[in-house]
A and B are shown apart, each in its own frame.
Chain A
Amino acid sequence: MARPKKSQENPGFATFSCSLKNCPVVSSLWWKGLGGYSLNLIFKPKRLSFWESLNAWIFVAPWILGFIFFTGGPILASFVISFTEWDIVNPPVWTGLGNYALMLSDPLFFQSLKVTTIYALAAVPLQIVVGLFIAILLNTKIRLIGVYRTLFYLPAVLPIVSVAVMWRWILSRDWGLINWFLSVFGVYGPGWLSEPEWALPALILMSLWGVGSGMLIYLAGLQGIPTDLYEAAKVDGAGAWASFFYVTLPMISPVILFQLVVGLIAAFQVFAQPFIMTQGGPQNSTLFYLLHLFRNAFEFFRMGYASALSWVLFLYIAVLTLLIFRFSAAWVFYEGEIKNE
């Protein structure tokens, strides 16, 4: 009986069945490497030995226990807690949908949702554009690519607390690097972190410093595009722009989709930057969602309300992710997929 060959154990784009891939959840998982999983469905192992199964369960046991106690269990618990009022010390009080109703009358909830959404809508596309731009420059068979790669990637590995402390100084109104740079061009820079209309843009600008990890992923994707595609495009008379729009972009689009989703989820988990640099201010202009949640949970000890906040965020992210996948079919190209439009 045919054992899957090496190439089948780790299949490329083409082997995944098309009907499954249209389902958003599956297609996202497929990005995380479900390719191998789908094949296991086809090549069912013939016989299972008891001893092998027992060993396997023992090896997986820590993960199962961890899942029950630290992931799955807490998720269910958080759902239940969201219907209660609980400060941990006193026993919880069932309030039904009270926390969710409270949310509707909590202006800070809407403010934090607004701030985080604006940040996500601005920072994530900017990071994609800048990251892809640098990656494309680095992909031109250029010299010193290793040096550039190191320089652009280095800020992304720095601990976020240090980065926040450093940037509070870099963004300072009177002595900061950014305003010095602007003053060279005769622009009198604002108090980035002290004026409500500039604080969020400042954090978005700062997030571009960490664009290096995205850049690496695009670079790997770009280097995986077969050169004969470019040669074929050239033969067909495509210039640099045409081959970018008709070869590079379609081929890299799955990576962009992945980065969009990952970036979105990361944007909703921003915490240390506003916590250290602005404490959510001025005038709540940088009150990120997680900061608001943190204050309710660990400063006011409103565990029920904070759990409700976390579930609303969870659903919000899930809906946004589903929407992205829903509309991704229009612009994401999978190699080996035949488009029938």
Chain B
Amino acid sequence: MTPLTAGSSFKAPPERHRPIDWAKVLAHIILIAGSIMFLMPFIYVLSTSLKTAGDVYTFPPEFIPDPIAWENYPEALTAMPFDVFFLNTILLALGRIIGLTLSCSLAGFAFAKLRWRGRNTLFFVVLLTLMIPVEVTLIPRYILFSKLGWVGSFAPLLVPGFFAENAFFVFLFRQFFMTMGQDIIDAGRIDGCSFIGLFWRIIAPNAKPVFAVVAIYIIQNNWNSFLLPMIYLTDRAKYTLALGLRLFNEQYYSQTHLLMAASVFVVIPIVILFFFMQRYFIQGVVFTGSKG
């Protein structure tokens, strides 16, 4: 920018805006193009779900349906008991939230804040189990549950939750509790508070964010979960949304508009949850990858 001379000071001030940062403009262009590419599949599916059966198969595709076939949704959702699937999914999520947050947070508390022999060894085992792929325990667990007569019920999906099945959550709670000062524990002990009291009155109320992160994680996993429910839930009345959608996909293979309506329906609760709880979703992911 040229320096102002004294004589020019009475004139209108020179252009004040900063020089255009072309790197940022380029970044915006790429990001906008990328966002469109990421959004397009969703928009395409949404528009298909609102088309009449005859309008679906057009090329090039029309993105704004005309007429808008709202009736696809009631039609798709009553073709199969999606309300039952929805309730089942919620029920499973709630059961797993209760079981996993209780058992994992207590274990995390013991690993983080209590002093006992064997703590380090056992925590090492917790970390080792993080690396075990699902396949390895899939078959023996199935055999165990089938011998117990639990196949066909929610039990194989719910019961392990009460036994801190998810090592990652134990680790997550432990890491979070580690950041809370030991003084708080010592002070509580001096005041004669029991350990469970310490957990319940001091640790848990101060660790609400991590409980929220874990709960969100569980809901999302539960919505996502497919292989395990498919193995254990043999009765259609116990199907989750994922299983129901898969069945719908088989039976309404050629009715794309209904199929898309059903799949949008399955996705919507998670999208809503995501928009309201985005912070917790992101915290959970970031914690997975970067917290040392």
Contacts and interface: CB of A to CB of B under 8 A. Distances in A.
Interface of A: 3, 6, 9-13, 28-37, 40-41, 45, 48-49, 52-53, 55-57, 59-60, 62-67, 69-71, 73-75, 77-78, 81, 88, 134, 137-138, 140, 142-144, 148-155, 157-162, 165-170, 174-175, 177, 180, 183, 209, 213-214, 216-217, 220-221, 224, 240, 255, 258-259, 262, 265, 268-269, 271-272, 275-276, 290, 293-294, 297-298, 303, 306-307, 309-311, 313-314, 317, 321
Consensus secondary structure, chain B interface: helix
A306 B143 CA distance: 12
A33 B58 CA distance: 53
Nearest to A174: B59
B117 A314 contact: no
The 7 lowest CB-CB distance pairs between A and B, nearest first, are A66-B163, A217-B289, A74-B140, A63-B164, A59-B110, A77-B140, A53-B116
Contacts of A66: 103, 160, 162-165
B23 interface: yes
Contact of A272 (B107, B227, B267): B227
Interface stretch (B8-16, B90-98, B255-263): B255-263
Contacts of B115: 45, 48-49, 52-53, 56
B267 A75 contact: no
A59 B267 contact: no
B97 to A, nearest CB: 15
A175 B59 CA distance: 6
Given A33-B171, A59-B106, 6 more contacts: A6-B181, A45-B115, A69-B163, A161-B263, A309-B135, A321-B131
B194 to A, nearest CB: 8
- Indicate the member of A63, A221, A297, A311 with the most B CB atoms within 10 Å: A63
A197 to B, nearest CB: 23
B103 A62 contact: yes
Contacts of A13: 292
Interface stretch (B64-72, B206-214, B274-282): B274-282
Contacts of B275: 150
Contacts, number: 306
Contacts of B242: 159-162
A220 B182 contact: no
Contacts of B260: 165-166, 169
Given A37-B120, A73-B140, A317 B285 contact: no
A9 B249 contact: no
B144 interface: yes
B127 A29 contact: yes
A303 B104 CA distance: 31
A307 B140 CA distance: 8
A314 B136 contact: yes
B124 A78 contact: no
Contact of A169 (B45, B120, B267): B45
Interface residues of B, number: 108
Interface string B25-40: 0011011001100111
A45 B257 CA distance: 64
Most buried by A among B38, B119, B171, B231: B38
B107 A151 contact: no
A293 B231 CA distance: 13
Given A169-B48, A180-B60, A37 B124 contact: yes
Residue among A149, A162, A309 having the largest count of chain B Cβ atoms under 10 Å = A162
Contact of A74 (B109, B137, B267, B292): B137
Specify the main secondary structure of chain A where it touches its partner: helix
Contact of B39 (A151, A161, A271, A276): A151
B73 interface: no
Given A37-B120, A63-B126, A224-B290, A158 B270 contact: yes
A288 to B, nearest CB: 11
A311 B140 CA distance: 12
B178 interface: yes
B30 to A, nearest CB: 6
Given A276-B249, A294-B227, A67 B28 contact: no
B116 A56 contact: yes
Given A10-B178, A32-B127, A216-B286, A303 B143 contact: yes
Contacts of B281: 153, 157
A40 B59 contact: no
A69 B163 CA distance: 9
B223 interface: yes
Contact of B263 (A36, A81, A144, A162): A162
B290 A59 contact: no
A298 B139 CA distance: 9
A183 B58 CA distance: 14
A256 to B, nearest CB: 10
Contacts of B146: 88
B33 to A, nearest CB: 11
Contacts of A77: 140, 143-144
A310 B290 CA distance: 30
